[in-house]
Amino acid sequence: MKTKISSIALSIIFLGLADCKSSDKDDGYRLWLRYDQIENESVLNDYKQIIQNIIVTGESPTIFAAREEILYGLSALFGAEVPVNKEVKEGCLLIGTPESSSVINGYFKGDTISAIGNEGYSIFSTQSEGYKITVITGNTDVGILYGVFHFLKLLQTRQSIAELNIASKPGIQNRLLNHWDNLDRKVERGYAGFSLWKWNTLPDYIDPRYKDYARANASVGINGTVLTNVNANAQVLTPEYLEKVAALADVFRPYGIRVYLTARFSAPIEIGGLRTADPLQKNVIEWWNNKAKEIYSYIPDFGGFLVKANSEGQPGPQNYGRSHAEGANLLARAVKPYNGIVMWRAFVYSNEEPEDRAKQAYNEFKPLDGKFEDNVLIQVKNGPIDFQPREPFHPLFGAMEQTPVMMEFQVTQEYLGQDIHLTYLAPLYEECLHSDTYAKGTGSEVFKVINGSLFNYNETGIAGVSNIGDDRNWCGHPIAQANWYALGQLAWDPEAASQEIAEEWIRMTYSNNQEVIDTMLKIMMISREAGVNYRTPLGLHHQMAWHHHYGPGPWIKDKPRADWTSAYYNKADETGIGFDRTKTGSNAVSQYFSPLTELFGNIETCPEELLLWFHHVPWNYKMKSGNTLWEELCMKYYQGTDQVREMQTKWNSLEGKIDDERFKHVQSLLKIQVRDAIEWRNACLLYYQTFSKMPIPEKYEQPDQTLEYYMKVDRKYLPGS
């Protein structure tokens, strides 16, 4: 067993993440895995007293990754190598499973073993032969790896490690990133450069970033990655590309990450030479069975397929008069012998324009409950339209008792400023996860649906549409890294609090200085609400510009589909504004359980943050504040711009307290965000004013441009369009 790695070897192994250690220069590449030396001598001495040497037992590639990480992390944090031993001594950090260590086997058994499951870990302080030691253990090697990352996080965030008694396991089985990456390396809804996957040099050249990507995901417990766009290209299922996918899988495997691919439903025609993709045809069934066998010959632990079908022009089973269940089951049966799963997306709307797009997924999937194979999960966006700044939770959460429903969040900020605006998304995730569906009465929150506890699902899952590209700092905006981190944390523990996640991330990524923490927390925790206020307050939605979705476009209409336009959703006219989804309108409220149907359906009880989502409201309607709807709308838009200015002021106060490179980067982006927030505010209010016929109150700064000016703004060549 290799028990010691030299400092020279470590510097080579971790060149990518260790090449910018200076406290005054940091380009963000290291993400939250910044193992900068601890400067507080008292804290450092306490840690060194407790951890004086290391033993890592086991021989697998995953154990090697854990050993590599702990050696590098401790040596960097302590400023000196920590000795590696073979025998337990005072201050030993003992790492391994009960099977690999007889010492651990003596402590770790019974209830603890069953409590942490296959991926969980236990970290505890104890004594062995009179020596004080610290143990990191788990039932599996990947549990050990997760435990190592957690232990290093304790040091990074300056927590006490004197008397540890930690046991943790993931609350959800399948925790994935969905990359909307195309084979030409462009990324749909990607704002941080091109795709990480360099298909033209794979499998022969393995970019070091692949390993750093795997480390970052493992550090937050993400255990799966879908490499390709949901608007799928069948070529990725050919041997030429499977060889490349296998090379990535080899890099990710030691870090507990399985690879998945998007399956284009028409692949049997496009790459298989068949004349049909009808899921009930024998030759189609045989083709997919053979294709699955071929994929698993390249990638034995292949996770399975993610499928977008019969949505936005993508082919699917409905092309042949078949149901989503019949289409999903075709693929599910093909991967089932290999323990694969199929994640079938519920983001569907037909070529025939529906009465209300918000209703269609429920209408199509609810009747199919119980008709899917047991290795199918229905992947549902958090809201019923499309990753809007604020939506009610999707009514399919709680509606599918016999079919596992998994969550799809967006990490990339398609409608929330992309890689330019500072928007911390965890409050949005938390808002959705803690919404009560009332599927089984009070206490039937969304997180209990997706963690399987409400309906005893056999499979559970959560996915985030990735915000990662080949920009040096991974996510474009330095703070956008927090959304990737938060997705992982909430996938591990769907009940985690967004503010606690933010503080943890700040400590690991920026500073343990309390002033920095407090200031950044205030900025991050108001950022999402600010984004709602200056874009789509009071339940407005889908008011963005055509194509790029970055700027405002409430006037967009007369396009190929009405439900791709803003006017379809705002319904602004001289009588009022908002989409009537009550019994007098589309009756989308009926898709929710009581008492939500009645709560949302009554204009007097509907939460005001969702008022215009469910109601067409008169301009002079009296709000709870005493304002008319028009006055409240104006107030919210101006509040949003004021909040961004507050964020800007607070960020500027951090000059000299964090590294200069990232400070200036965020400072510059906040200048743009203030400008954009004003544009959103002015453009929307001037447009809605053409219907309300009411003035913007004099107490507010008045728009300095006309509506015609804003309507002519035409941004070209924006990333991710």
Query: Could you list the active site residues?
Result: 312, 386, 414
* Gap between the Cα atoms of 22 and 429, Å rounded: 34
Q: Are the C-beta atoms of residues 144 and 95 closer than 8 Å to each other? A: yes
Amino acid at the residue 626: G
Residues in contact with 189: Cβ distance below 8 Å, sequence separation at least 6, in sequence order: 180, 410, 412, 414, 465, 720
Residues in contact with 564: Cβ distance below 8 Å, sequence separation at least 6, in sequence order: none
Helix axes 514-535, 498-509, angle to 10 degrees: 130
Is it true that the peptide bond before 618 is cis, omega within 30 degrees of 0?
no
For residue 691, give the 3-state DSSP assignment: helix
Amino acid at the residue 549: H
* Gap between the Cα atoms of 403 and 398, Å rounded: 10
Burial of 618-644, coded b for 16+ CB within 10 Å and e otherwise, reads bbebebeeebbbbbbbbbbbbebbebb
Amino acid at the residue 192: A
* Gap between the Cα atoms of 187 and 638, Å rounded: 34
* Gap between the Cα atoms of 478 and 500, Å rounded: 19
* Gap between the Cα atoms of 96 and 86, Å rounded: 13
Q: Are the C-beta atoms of residues 583 and 601 closer than 8 Å to each other? A: yes
Neighbours of 339 (CB within 10 A): 12
Dihedral sign for Cα 373, 375, 376, 382, please.
positive
Burial class (CB in 10 A: 0-12, 13-18, 19+), 213: buried
* Gap between the Cα atoms of 578 and 706, Å rounded: 24
* Gap between the Cα atoms of 90 and 51, Å rounded: 9
Which two structure tokens, joined as six digits, stand for 76? 């960097």
The three-point CA angle 244-287-344 to 5° equals 75
* Gap between the Cα atoms of 548 and 567, Å rounded: 17
Instruction: Give the N- to C-terminal CA distance of the chain in Å, as an integer.
Output: 51
